Chain A
Amino acid sequence: MKISAEDVKNDFIKEIEELSGQKVLKCYQCGKCSAGCPMVDAMDLLPNQIIRLLQLGQKDEILKSKTIWICASCFTCEARCPKGIDLSKLMEALRVVLLRKGKDFIEVSKLSEEELEEAPQQLLVCSSRKYTA
């Protein structure tokens, strides 16, 4: 990976900080977020790696990662971060950057009948909120 001064100073960091209300440079990479994350097994980048890449302005690396779509917004990392960063807000800001381009990440029509029959309504509403533009 090649990192230049322009990368580190780019507007993407500012955009994400504004959307999330979190300061990415506060993170000192202790890794507690990744250690406690219940969904980490499915992630291609660890939660702390997302922040590190964000600190280094690696927009493309982050936005193509599956991790931001795997976060379940359970706020475990928020409860454990020694620097008080709410990583769930950073994850949502990163998703929003892509969602606001008008692309959906789930298709409700693809859910099985059994799931639609049994799943509580808020599960469907919540996943539509998180995954559709």
Chain B
Amino acid sequence: MRVTYYPGCTLYTKAKNLGELAKASAKILGIEMKELENWTCCQAAFPLVSDNIMGLVSPSRIIINAEKEGDKLTTLCSFCYNVLKRTNNVLKNDVEKRTKICEFLEEDYKGNIEVLHFLEIIRNDIGFERLKKKVKKSLEGLNVAPYYGCQILRPASVLKLDDPENPRILHDFLASLGCEVVDFPFKVECCGSYQILNEEVKDVALGCSYNILNSAIKNGADAIALTCPVCYFNLDKKQKEIAQKFGDFKHIPILYFTELLGLALKVDKKLFDFEKHFIDPRPLLIEKGLIENNVVKRKEEV
């Protein structure tokens, strides 16, 4: 099957592991991810006030262009997913806004396109049973806590990905790869999101991330799997500051769900860029026999 793929701003830079490993894994699963041409920024935040139609223009342009290519548009970043799916919902159901946007863009919107997260494509079109059969290297023995965050789940009435309080999709996905899935109470809590850049409340935002990481560790996780580049920044890159602020804190590696998928499907080793991680997952992956000891130089222990 073929789907149109919208990468978004980070997937070729800071979240390279999220994008490249998804594409390579998709190929093995029989999904062709055809990148949308001339894509632009989705503008990262869905406008929450009713008269901000300008804020819907760039995601609408992306959706309308994707509609010319096929009936499925897929994304990997939680922020892009939230914005694009909510915008598609507006285009489908709000005649007044749709008319205004289409006239402004001088384009037609037919309403034949769905915005789907890559996980949704795996669940709905491949199925977790079939995914299980495609696994070449089971991730057995790896205790992974699935972390969802906000943007992929809420508002559930529009996104319809899963239950906003007790989701299963990432749990089922990890279980199909052979991981020991570690359920933990902070799986849908906010990581502090963009408030990490707000000097006044940075400490509270760091506290949000600390609670998530600590809860996963206490429940027996060796690593956390997630979908969002912002959560990744707060939960991985900020562990240095979290450790300075909370004396009892122990580090834990953070992995994109596609890195685990790539390991299980045995995609080309060269596509993994473990140097991008602040907390190096290699010692853990070597210990569990998932990567070879000699391939990569270990970064200094933090």
Contact = CB atoms under 8 A, between A and B. Distances in A.
17 contacts: A41-B204, A66-B200, A70-B195, A73-B150, A73-B193, A76-B190, A80-B165, A86-B48, A89-B48, A111-B197, A120-B230, A121-B14, A122-B80, A126-B230, A127-B197, A129-B44, A130-B194
Contacts of A86: 48, 155
A2 interface: no
A67 to B, nearest CB: 11
Report which residue of A18, A41, A93, A127 has the largest number of chain B beta carbons within 10 angstroms of its beta carbon: A127
A124 interface: yes
A38 B200 contact: no
A18 B50 CA distance: 7
Given A120-B229, A122-B9, A93 B195 contact: no
B191 to A, nearest CB: 8
Given A73-B48, A74-B190, A123 B197 contact: yes
A98 interface: no
Contacts of B237: 118
A82 interface: no
Interface of A: 18-21, 38-39, 41-42, 66, 69-70, 72-76, 78-80, 86, 88-89, 91-93, 96, 106, 110-111, 115, 118-127, 129-131
Q: Is the interface of A mostly helix, strand, loop or mixed?
A: helix
A111 B60 CA distance: 31
B44 A122 contact: yes
Contacts of A123: 193-194, 196-197, 229-230, 233
Contacts of A69: 198, 200
